Amino acid sequence: MRSTPASSASDDFGEDFFVYCEDNSVIEPFKIFIQVKASEAFDKNPSDWTEYCDPFTVRNWILSNEMTVIIRTNLMSQETRYAVPEDECEYWDINYEKSFPIQLLTTFDKKVAEQLIWMARIRHYDRLVRLTLPNEFEHHVYDDIPHFRLFLFELLMRLGIFAQPPTFSAFFVALYKQVYIDHQTELSLIDSDDMTATEKLRYATCFSVIPLMLMNKSGHDNLGLSPLFLDQAACALVQFVIDAENNNILPSC
């Protein structure tokens, strides 16, 4: 994690610095903007941990491609709490006639910092998929990995699903086989007339195993993994699973 002062257009633009995130010493293509606050009051009640922010700045935080975090330390108690503005308010709830209150109720520590990095990482890839996802698919697009899913392949690599592409890691293979067995009796959960029983089982297994790999890699189970994003990640993984089935690496119906 590396930090850099944020550029400002005025005395207080809204962020104090931003953090570069890295994976295995490689700088990643997203940042986390940080707004730092301090208090010397007796902050005991939830209302005491409320920051009243400029509504236009809050708007920018919500609409930005980068995630913003507000962090506040009480200099007397040395307690530090945080909030992610886009999780605390909706765009259409902003009243531009007055300051917008954001409560900082969650304790901030090293583990939380690691969780926020993963949240920003998932958020980044989620937005990439939404920006590049085509409205319609032509038949030939599945002859290879669709371009928009290459972003997802990069994330699957970070989750430890692959040892050396296209070879799956031993941990993933063992987990996949267990989840596959568990799902063999749950095919009715997938409501689709366009999928065979084999395709349902394969997709359901991929859909379930990705969050498990994410939790194992990150150590957290609440990272904002949206259903749309998980669906597309599962579809990307399916293409590799089919090849592994043909080579008897993974089970098939």
Q: Which of 44-58, 126-140, 183-197 has the lowest mean pLDDT?
A: 183-197
* Rounded Cα distance, 112 and 117, in Å: 9
* Rounded mean pLDDT, 175-194: 73
Range of the domain at 88: 2-108
Contact in structure between 40 and 75 (CB atoms under 8 Å) = yes
Q: List, for residues 85-117, the tens digit of each pLDDT value.
A: 999 888 998 999 999 999 998 999 999 999 999
Q: Provide the percentage of residues in the chain whose pLDDT is more than 90.
A: 41
Q: Do 58 and 83 lie in a common domain? A: yes
Q: Say if residue 9's pLDDT is above 60.
A: no
Where is the domain boundary, 73, 108, 143?
Answer: 108
Q: Say if residue 80's pLDDT is above 60.
A: yes
Where is the domain boundary, 91, 108, 125?
Answer: 108
Q: Do 159 and 207 lie in a common domain? A: yes
Q: List, for residues 150-167, the tens digit of each pLDDT value.
A: 788 888 998 999 988 778
Where is the domain boundary, 66, 89, 108?
Answer: 108
Q: List, for residues 25-41, the tens digit of each pLDDT value.
A: 788 889 999 999 988 87
- What are the residues whose beta carbons fall under 8 Å from the beta carbon of 147, sequence distance 6 or more? 132
Residue 25 lies in a domain: yes
Residue 251 lies in a domain: no
Q: Which pLDDT score is estimated for 187?
A: 56
Q: Say if residue 45's pLDDT is above 70.
A: yes
Q: Do 191 and 236 lie in a common domain? A: yes
* Rounded Cα distance, 90 and 8, in Å: 25
Cis bond upstream, residue 166 (ω within 30): yes
Residue 252 lies in a domain: no
Contact in structure between 54 and 38 (CB atoms under 8 Å) = no
